[in-house]
Structure 1
Amino acid sequence: MNSRPAFQFYPRDWLNDLDLQGCSLQAQAIMIAFICVTHDSPEYGVLWVAGEKRDPFSDQNFAKKCSKIFRITPKKFQKILRELVDSNVLKQDDEGCIYCARMLRNQALSEVRSAAGKCGGNPYLIKQSTKQNPPPLTTTTFSPSSSSLSSKTPPTTPPSVQEQGGCGRVLSADEEDFIRLYAKYNTKTNKAGLVETLKKRALLGTLDLSCLDALRSKEREDLRIERAREASIQRVKQAEANQKRREVEQQAAEAERQKEGRRVAEKFRAQRLAALAQNGEEGPVTSLSSPVGDDARTVPPAES
């Protein structure tokens, strides 16, 4: 069981998660409860209830146990859990177990940082101590599935032999990838000093690459999440652009209708004026400037 008494919560990430904010408020509340429950699970971030993890959608007994913890009915629990899984907020593995990918990434990052701290801590303090009494280099073994760390001290060799072993040696692609990823996910240590230390270990052949696969998996998952986020942002922008385009089209259609109305009104006015002019040739024409009524004046016909 996890021994950490608390976990970090990022309000900005929570509010900016488009997949999560697209879920109902009840699903968001269940998500908070899910984080709290899986924080103390035997596997961090994985849904364990009563000492077991199963598919809550196919195993009704397991769903009933989960519903008691989340304080809702089994049917409602399955419905909300399905909403979170379909919205890509929670994940489901091949065995049907439900887990939170963000919590697993945070756990792996915590283990990587812990391993980095075991590798030497502050690089400035290391430089000061090595001037007086250079310590032997140690190899740290990191297991992705466990937080246990083990250190091995290589056999001491004369400086001349060590210099010859690293002289002219080119780092392999795996070593360069490990150094890049290790420095990328280790934010509490000076990156330049950490990279320099890891390169020295690689040249001496004491760099342990056991957690390289875990770092690569984490980078792939981060890249997938970033692409999904960019796709969501693109969908929102496209929807806004379509809405704006429809508004412009509606305004243009309204302007065209008004223009057509004015054209029809001008046509009727021209016909009316033509009719009035024709009446004026045949007989007296009432002045358009004078009011129509008892005071209307008639223009007499011209004398021959």
Structure 2
Amino acid sequence: MGRAGDRAGAAGKRALDRVRHARHPLHGIAKWALIGFQALAGVFGLFCLINLGLSLSTFRGENPAARTAHELGVLWFSTPNGQSTSDRAFEVIHGGALGAEPTAAEIRAHFEAASEGGTFLLDQIMVDRMKKVNGQIDGRVLPSGIYVGAHALGPDSPPLVWVTKWMAHYMLFPRHAYILVVPETGQAVVFSASQSGKFPGDVGSPNRLTARITPYDDSAYDFPSSGEALHEMTIVTRDPAIVASAPAALNAARARLEALDETYGLLAPNSNTVVGCILEDADLLDPEVRRSTLLAFRAPGLGAACPDTAQGS
């Protein structure tokens, strides 16, 4: 046993000596370029692992395992732009709770129950079924109220989407936020803020912070799609008076934002900043919550200082 240990120790020392005195196969600029690339790869890998840990340990609801299974199923069945999700996808993901052919009233009742917890998932497969059953997203399939939606950002077109939709959801913890208004009657509308270059039309400076208010449908900037198939929805109020006045209030906020002519910032001011300021100004989001550390990671910019015109005077 002693001799075996000595031999193992000697072999280990020889291996360390070979590593210590080994010559790098590359020299000069090529050597340092490789070392730099390896360092960047290591940092990126660590970044992904940290984000994956946060994604799987926070905002998971009361049943994290069921939530993860739901997410994986939706990402698996999600389809590129212009392609509807299949009936099979709906049966697998939602059939257990709603059956294969739910009515609009049954879908609404499902979300009435889901929204009691404050936060729920709205996915591409479900909105496809809502449109098939009801023709549009409105109060007949989603309870009337004001919601904050949050989703990962990523491309919708193949071939990149087949990889990026998984990475964006699990390896990028930050989310992009928007405001969804579902009135008692009429189609739901969405308030989306981002860089002007991401919206259609003549935008002037593509890096200007701007917003759009549009029907909540396939053409909306913030609508569940292949690369952004899972949206975390948080209901902030169901007060009929506030819901009824929300479109006008959001239009006023958009006009004030346009007048500011603010440059978009990666961390702030950005779309999350605008959403956070509007909600705080309407007393729908507590200032301390808006500036919480966890939300700063989940929705970067949400708690940043408000541009003067993002709030009412």
TM-score range, shorter chain: under 0.3
Greater relative CO (CA pairs within 8 A, separation 6+): 2
Higher helix share: 1
Q: Max radius of gyration: which structure?
A: 1
- With structure 1 as the length reference, what TM-score do the two structures score? 0.24
